[in-house]
Amino acid sequence: MAKSEAEVALDIAIKKTYRAFSRRVRTDGDASDLIFKKLKQQKRIRCQCGCMKVQRSKGSRVFICMTCKAKTYFTAGTAYEGAGRLRARLGVIYFAERNLILTASKVSQLFKVGSGTARSIVLNQAIILNETMPDSALELTGQEVASLIYRRSCETPARRPPIAEQEEIDNEVSQSEACKNAGNSETDFTENVDVDGFAPDLSDAQKQVFAALSNVSRSADDLCILTGLPAGIVGSSLVILHLDNLIEELPGGRYTRITLREKSGPLTSSPNDFAMLEVLLNAFHTFIKLTSKGVSRKCMQLYLAQFWYCVDKSRWHKNDLFNLYLDHAPLGHQDLRNFVSSNRLKLPLVSI
């Protein structure tokens, strides 16, 4: 298949960046030197005996104490601990700083490392980034990323397409909400929601439909069941709510409430923020399609974290990520394999 213009441009950027990186860091030893230099600047090169006078040969991962002669691995206690192929690790950081997120297969090919190592290098970075995501991050609805779910994972239900993973989560969430609603079935739906505050002109039916929606998407059929209203009334209420900008229609004829986002993030209901979110989500879709064509639900959160790193220029500056590895506890292989995106996918709202 012929490559798109964007893919060709990406290939060129990757080659150029690789050449620039290779001029700075040619070997794993060069990478060790950089890490050692940084730790020394931070006054973190110190023997267990307390002595800071040490000897080290160029390219080595250890230093020797001038006082007690003990040998110390200086990457111990950082996310570089026990990590082979330091050059590839620093390379992936170097690329990310230039907004180039590499797939494991690209890392393997460029840096000549095994596919398992490449995968762990890429996962490592994404997991560390994901941990730093602020609490104020927005909660996404599954539908906003559903079309990107393209690959199966061990979390995908057997003999079902990749998207089944997201569908199961949506069902779980809507069931737990249905239980909650069933618990207070005597009270009117609208009592749970302060609809009047911002949409005083709605009819009772419209309020009921709105109240039955949440940030979990529902189809018109779901809404008929939940509200007990006839399909015609539900349909016309949806049209009005849509015109009032209270709800949005998602692919597949499903609807969610717009205003619920306010709860999970720094969003106000300003049209500006919604425009910003739309731009951000579009960029995320482009980002995924360009870097990996499509992803599994299991790893979606990691891609969101990498994307966030690339676009949030007010949070991420040069060397931040390199330093973050130095301040991060070692990551075990177990941690990597066990990562599963939480039911609630998150992405900070940033302007791009």
Give the footprint of Zn ion on this chain (CB under 5 A).
Answer: 47, 49, 51, 65, 67-68, 70
**Shortest Cβ 27–Zn ion spacing (Å):** 28
Cβ atoms of residues 281 and 144 within 8 Å: yes
**Shortest Cβ 64–Zn ion spacing (Å):** 9
Cβ atoms of residues 91 and 13 within 8 Å: no
Beta 247-250 vs 138-139: how paired, if at all?
A: unpaired
Pick between residue 47 and residue 229 the one whose CB is nearest to Zn ion: 47
Cβ atoms of residues 108 and 118 within 8 Å: yes
Distance between CA atoms of residues 176 and 65, nearest Å: 59
**Shortest Cβ 314–Zn ion spacing (Å):** 42
Length of the chain: 352
- CA distance readout (Å), 232 to 138, 156, 312: 33, 36, 44
Q: Which residues of 261-283 are buried (b: 16+ CB within 10 A; e: fewer)?
A: beebbebeeeeebbebbeebeee
Pick between residue 70 and residue 349 the one whose CB is nearest to Zn ion: 70
**Shortest Cβ 70–Zn ion spacing (Å):** 5
Distance between CA atoms of residues 345 and 207, nearest Å: 28
Map tokens 């991050």 to a residue: 137
Distance between CA atoms of residues 145 and 217, nearest Å: 13
Pick between residue 9 and residue 68 the one whose CB is nearest to Zn ion: 68
Give Cα 188 distance to the centre of its chain. 38
Pick between residue 40 and residue 344 the one whose CB is nearest to Zn ion: 40
Cβ atoms of residues 45 and 52 within 8 Å: yes
**Shortest Cβ 54–Zn ion spacing (Å):** 8
Pick between residue 8 and residue 52 the one whose CB is nearest to Zn ion: 52
Distance between CA atoms of residues 250 and 29, nearest Å: 51
**Shortest Cβ 326–Zn ion spacing (Å):** 21
Pick between residue 45 and residue 300 the one whose CB is nearest to Zn ion: 45
**Shortest Cβ 19–Zn ion spacing (Å):** 41
Pick between residue 34 and residue 70 the one whose CB is nearest to Zn ion: 70
